[in-house]
Amino acid sequence: QSALTQPASVSGSPGQSITISCTGTSSDVGGYNHVSWYQQLPGKDPKVMILEVTNRPFGVSTRFSGSKSGNTASLTISGLQPEDEGDYYCKSYQSSGTYVFGSGTRVTVL
């Protein structure tokens, strides 16, 4: 039950857009729309930013958006801001009834 593959780090300047990928298989990311994204700021608990691939929970900035193509889901942060700096994790439901997190991506605002 290996973690979904994410880039270790992504960086961008304020105002730029960045995209974080999350690659799995047809048994998880590719087979279901049950992909969610979590932001973990330093010293804080994770917070859901995107659910069911594309949906934003109430209160989450419209700068955060999600998509999926095949076995890869993506999180895009538009208009990058200093407060976006932290770790981001994808999570997917799996055909075995289990769940799996991505390996995590450190976002740095230059």
Question: Interface residues with other proteins (CB under 8 A)?
Answer: 1, 3, 34, 36, 38, 40, 45-46, 48, 51-52, 57, 87, 89, 91, 93, 96-104
Provide the minimum distance between the beta carbon of 37 and other proteins in the complex, in angstroms, as a whole number. Answer: 9
Provide the minimum distance between the beta carbon of 34 and other proteins in the complex, in angstroms, as a whole number. Answer: 4
CB 6 within 8 A of CB 22: yes
Separation between Cα atoms, residue 19 and residue 53, nearest integer Å = 14
CB nearer other proteins, residue 26 or residue 96 = 96
End-to-end CA distance of the chain: 34
CB nearer other proteins, residue 52 or residue 69 = 52
Separation between Cα atoms, residue 16 and residue 22, nearest integer Å = 20
What is the sign, positive or negative, of the torsion defined by CA atoms of 50, 51, 54, 59? Answer: negative
Separation between Cα atoms, residue 26 and residue 18, nearest integer Å = 25
Provide the minimum distance between the beta carbon of 57 and other proteins in the complex, in angstroms, as a whole number. Answer: 7
CB nearer other proteins, residue 79 or residue 91 = 91
Provide the minimum distance between the beta carbon of 22 and other proteins in the complex, in angstroms, as a whole number. Answer: 12
